[in-house]
Structure 1
Amino acid sequence: MSHQSALAHLPWNSPAAAEARDCVGDDRHTLTFGEFARRVEAAAEQLAEYGVGPGGAVAVMLPNRVELLVGLAAAWRLGAAATPINPTFTAREAEYQIEDSGAVVVLGDNPGTHSAGRPLLLADELRREPAGTLPPPATTGDEIALLIYTSGSTGRPKGVMLSHANLDAMSSMIVERMLLGPEDRCLLFLPLFHVNALLVSFLAPFRVGAQTRVMGRFSVAGFFAALTDFRPTYFSAVPTIYSMLVSQPVDGDFSSVRFGVCGAAPASAELLTATQERFGFGLVEGYGLTEGCCASCVNPVDGVRKLGTVGPALPGQRVEVMAPDGTILPPGERGEVVIQGPNVMVGYLNRPEATAETLREGWLHTGDVGILDEDGYLRIVDRIKDMIIRGGENIYPKEIETVLHGHPGVLEAAVVGQPDETYGEVVVAYVAGYPDAELRVEDLLETCRANLTKVKVPAAIHLVDALPKNPVGKVDKPTLRSRLAAPSQTSA
């Protein structure tokens, strides 16, 4: 199957019947497909006046709102790439991304938006009606559509180049696996500077003429209000959000919801079960990387969902487990997860060495350790870089986190390695409990001793109100490690 520009599935190519259907809205306004198409065309005309054209880039530094989506599509309309920037970034962080991406103009929401000396176009000043000055769209599948920057936890952030063909392939795969159709309504609240929200909650529903409601920022009260008002059929969230919902005393009417997606970070089987039992809809856990354009495995919406796995490969992708020598391992064997498919990134912008390291011998090397079962369902064991080496023994934090999550009072748990003069590293856990839970360190240690060999039992457990998160909602393990950076003498 050949893949084309993401533009092929955006509103200006929609059937006339879809013109008057509601397309996307936020707390300010709702646009039909026809209105969205006109807004995009008008915004593209404005961007062209700043010199944006094929091969260029537009930085979009906005909170979640309709104009963010208009800005992305307007860049694509001109054959340019878009690079969405976290609107909470400091000047230094924002300027690095703007300069590294080569952005011609910045789309922001206030005059104080960091622009690194580039022209600043405000979202509220975007034109609403086109003048008809642009030639027909000519963007091809090979051109870069998105520059998504990695978190930079292991160095300077890298710009992941995703082509229009990547977006076309991924949105098609999501539609097929999640059985999306024009009657679906997606509630979008994950940040739109990340591929999860962009693909699962923006491009995939657009592709089938479904409707999207954009929440500016997630809050439990806002979520329940949207549940009543918008009646979504699905939404995508991270484990932290499901933990927040399960811990709330207030229940909403979830009868409209077909399924929820859980991704971006591993979820415990206990959380997945508690969410489904509490709210009554199926929760499908998935897995993927920015470098793979969002998702590579997702449990089926209508089919066998295996708790503790992230499901089988999406249609059109090949997911395998590889040994260090490059051998593809059989089911049940542990190794690095590797991916092939039309969703795999073009590479890292201006980083040929990093690209060559990640894209080796035809495979996207994820850096994740996993096991495939006989049915092709993938279980993520851990990140290779998160592995703790204690006295020469390899310890995977996720195994210990799973045991801690089995304690009824534990809401979140994260395990990291602490430098140690004797063993090199020892296991340390951080645990946050449910609001009314009375956790005791000794009880948690006893749970670990009953389920883990001695070397895996944490040398220390720290009780905290909440675990630190990065902007996407993943537990920020680098921050936890930095708290433990000073070497210490620890006995076990």
Structure 2
Amino acid sequence: MRHIADLPDARAASDPHAPCVADDTTTLSNAEFRDRVHAAGAVLHGAGVRAGDVVAVVLANRVELVVALFAAWRLGAALTPVNPGLTDDDILYQTTDSGATVVIGDTARAGVTLDVAALSRSESHAPVPVAETDGSDLALIIYTSGTTGRPKGVLLDHDNLAAMCTMIIDALGLDETDHSLLVLPLFHVNGIVVSVLSPLLVGARTTIAGRFSATAFSGLVERVRPTYFSAVPAIYAMLVALPEGPRPGFESLRVAICGAAPMPAELIARFEHRYGVPIVEGYGLSEGTCASTLNPVAGPRKPGTVGRPLPGQTVTIVDPGGTPVAAGELGEVVIAGPNVMRGYLGKSEETAKTVVDGRLHTGDVGHFDADGYLVLIDRIKDMIIRGGENLYPKEIENALYLHPAVHEAAVVGIPDPVLGEVPVAHVVPAPGAAVTAEQLTAHCRGVLAAFKVPVAIVLTGEMPRNPVGKIDKKRLRALAARV
């Protein structure tokens, strides 16, 4: 296979009738997937898409999104997936900022110029040859979640994707017998790389789940029989919160992957005990094309860490001046490797601050333990400075998770006229648990230094989340300020 754009043709030539990709309504063999990609490529070409252009897709998870991805690459164009849950204003911002030539989706949505149904109608178009695509050509523009302003477009080229997929395939031990169940959104790089590209590249198959439902998930797994899936802590928390009872169908799963946000060791233990599926937790950023560390599938796995650096990447802990710190000391996590992004679209100053001498400055604080596993402490920007003392919310959150009545916990800092900042905790109680803020405060006093104990604990039914499923601490800060 010359290039990833050739994947549909290569799979069809190798085994035309083998299953390739499916969703809730469509199942495509390798040959059928190739034909759909060819048809979509002809439609996009007829709509004016050429090499070097950008195609935007405003769709929920479905087969057509994967078809559009490969069709764009077939023409030498890049693709930017747009979260369909965004407001019209945010959709227009991304499609305009990316310079999209064509916007695929439901024509009732803002800015959409090509009805998704048209992708399979190519009778009036001549076949389109595959463009000559180089590894340095742009492949994806992934927009960040925009927690500090307007989202930024992360530029990933084909070399980034090829390197990342090779690392994921090797780390997970993927082969043609695997079956990925996609539950994360395809506007996020994890969903694209871990659950679609990597399995398809090794001859495995992918099933795209619709909107996630904790109550329906067991039945879905039993029906589809996947070998792995990748999710965020919120999904595992929802599965753990289900009423006790038999959950058949998980026997086919050999591993579950967790990313996007650190997962408390206690939650990992609860899931593994209940469902009998090992979780391997990893860490990475869109700017690093997905993952930079991962707990080994074959072990030893160390809950509470995000694993070891993936082969091919260098992960370093540095001080504020960029100098590596001594072993075991805290500092900023910095990543180097062929997976580091080309930069932010149209933001050269932001790029220069983030990628320095080829090293990606993540903004995360962490350290390596004695076995070389990365322990994440927190985001630098989330650190709370209380009367000159540095507090890391994750440490307080982990202390709260030690209480059996705590299902989810999130800690943020709020302004204080005397101390500068103080911590406030938001807690979702475990299903059926009866607990008070006073009891949780007493628990914290028993496991934390006095200055780390939250000044207030707010009990809530659910956490606010961003589109990827991470807890939205920006919104929590606003709520906490009113406590």
Q: Which amino acid aligns with 2:116?
A: A
RMSD: 1.5
Q: Which amino acid aligns with 1:97?
A: Q
**Match of 2:119?**
126
Give SS of 1:14's match.
Answer: helix
1:175 to 151, 169, 194: 169
Quick check: 1:4–1:140 contact (8 Å CA) kept in 2? no
Give SS of 1:449's match.
Answer: helix
d(CA) in 1 for partners of 2:180, 2:10: 21
**Match of 1:87?**
84
What are the residue-to-residue correspondences of 1:270-309 with 2, within 5 Å? 270-309=266-305
d(CA) in 1 for partners of 2:346, 2:329: 36
**Match of 2:135?**
141
**Match of 1:483?**
479
Is 1:189 matched with 2:168?
no
Q: Which amino acid aligns with 1:21?
A: A
1:150 to 144, 151, 160: 144
Q: Which amino acid aligns with 2:100?
A: A
Give SS of 2:17's match.
Answer: coil
Give SS of 2:252's match.
Answer: coil
**How far does the alpha carbon of each residue in 1:72-109 deviate from its partner, in whole angstroms, 9 at most, with x for none?**
1111111111010000111100000000000011110x
What residue ranges of structure 1 are gaps of 5+ in the alignment?
none
Quick check: 1:84–1:192 contact (8 Å CA) kept in 2? yes
Quick check: 1:38–1:129 contact (8 Å CA) kept in 2? no
What residue ranges of structure 2 are gaps of 5+ in the alignment?
none
Quick check: 2:51–2:131 contact (8 Å CA) kept in 1? no
Shift of 1:192: 0.6
Is 1:310 matched with 2:306?
yes
Q: Which amino acid aligns with 2:226?
A: P
d(CA) in 2 for partners of 1:135, 1:16: 17
**Match of 1:160?**
154
Shift of 1:14: 2.7
TM norm structure 1: 0.95
**Match of 1:207?**
201
**Match of 2:411?**
415
**How far does the alpha carbon of each residue in 1:204-257 deviate from its partner, in whole angstroms, 9 at most, with x for none?**
101101111111210023312211111111000111111111111242321110
Is 1:51 matched with 2:48?
yes
When structure 1 is superposed on structure 2, of 46-55 and 409-418 the one drifting more is 46-55
**Match of 1:24?**
21
Q: Which amino acid aligns with 2:63?
A: V
Shift of 1:13: 2.2
TM norm structure 2: 0.97
Is 1:396 matched with 2:389?
no
d(CA) in 2 for partners of 1:129, 1:281: 44
Give SS of 1:255's match.
Answer: helix
1:99 to 75, 92, 96: 96
**How far does the alpha carbon of each residue in 1:296-355 deviate from its partner, in whole angstroms, 9 at most, with x for none?**
001111121111110001111111111112211232111000000101000000100000
Shift of 1:374: 3.1
d(CA) in 2 for partners of 1:325, 1:398: 24
1:469 to 445, 465, 469: 465
d(CA) in 1 for partners of 2:315, 2:292: 7
What are the residue-to-residue correspondences of 1:344-355 with 2, within 5 Å? 344-355=340-351
1:60 to 36, 57, 60: 57
**Match of 1:38?**
35
d(CA) in 2 for partners of 1:235, 1:201: 7
1:63–1:195 Cα change, 3 Å:
same
- Paired positions, count: 480
Give SS of 1:138's match.
Answer: coil
Give SS of 1:429's match.
Answer: strand
Quick check: 2:103–2:114 contact (8 Å CA) kept in 1? yes
Q: Which amino acid aligns with 2:139?
A: A
Is 1:112 matched with 2:108?
yes
Q: Which amino acid aligns with 1:258?
A: R
d(CA) in 2 for partners of 1:469, 1:126: 33
1:264 to 260, 267, 292: 260
2:378 to 377, 382, 405: 382
Q: Which amino acid aligns with 2:449?
A: T
**Match of 1:231?**
225
Q: Which amino acid aligns with 2:384?
A: I
Q: Which amino acid aligns with 1:54?
A: A
Q: Which amino acid aligns with 2:62?
A: R
